[in-house]
């Protein structure tokens, strides 16, 4: 089944403890992106990747890192999480970054709580 898989689904951690949220897609998509969803703010883009080894900042990149060593994986890294990073995170991918036939496919989300 074609899908975007995020792990874990739920994560509770403490301030300053490094964590990684994994994202994997099996559709050979070039474009991948991370969003965070907060009440009243909707979805905001954190980072995106056009292809392997090509990543760039979205609207709210502070406090996050990403890597794209393989086409299928796009992990989100929080080196030193803080409570304001408590949020619902979505990974998404599309065939390419352009074109009208490239809708985003979303993962199930990761609910992160930082205490």
Partner 1 sequence: AQRVTQPEKLLSVFKGAPVELKCNYSYSGSPELFWYVQYSRQRLQLLLRHISRESIKGFTADLNKGETSFHLKKPFAQEEDSAMYYCALRSKGGSNYKLTFGKGTLLTVNP
Stretch near partner 1 under the rule CB under 8 A, chosen from 10-18, 19-27, 38-46, 79-87: 38-46
In order of 65, 78, 93, 99, the CA distances from 61 in angstroms are 8, 11, 18, 25
Q: How many angstroms separate the CA atoms of 22 and 98, rounded?
A: 24
Which residue lies nearer to partner 1 by CB, 1 or 115? 1
Which residue lies nearer to partner 1 by CB, 44 or 65? 44
Residue 81 binds to partner 1 (criterion: CB under 8 A): no
Which residues of this chain interact with partner 1, rule CB under 8 A? Answer: 4, 31, 33, 35, 40-45, 48, 50, 56, 58, 90, 92, 97-98, 100, 102-109
């Amino acid at each position: 089944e074609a899908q975007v898989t995020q792990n874990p689904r739920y994560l509770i951690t403490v301030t300053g403890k490094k964590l990684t949220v994994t994202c994997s897609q099996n559709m050979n998509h070039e474009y991948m992106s991370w969003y965070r969803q907060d009440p009243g703010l909707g979805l905001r883009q954190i980072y995106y990747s056009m292809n392997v080894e090509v990543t760039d900042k979205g609207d709210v990149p502070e406090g996050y890192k990403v890597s794209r060593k393989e086409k299928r994986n796009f992990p989100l890294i929080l080196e030193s999480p803080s409570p304001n990073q408590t949020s619902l995170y979505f990974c998404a991918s599309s065939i390419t970054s352009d074109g009208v036939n490239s809708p985003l496919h979303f993962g199930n989300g990761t609910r992160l709580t930082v205490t």
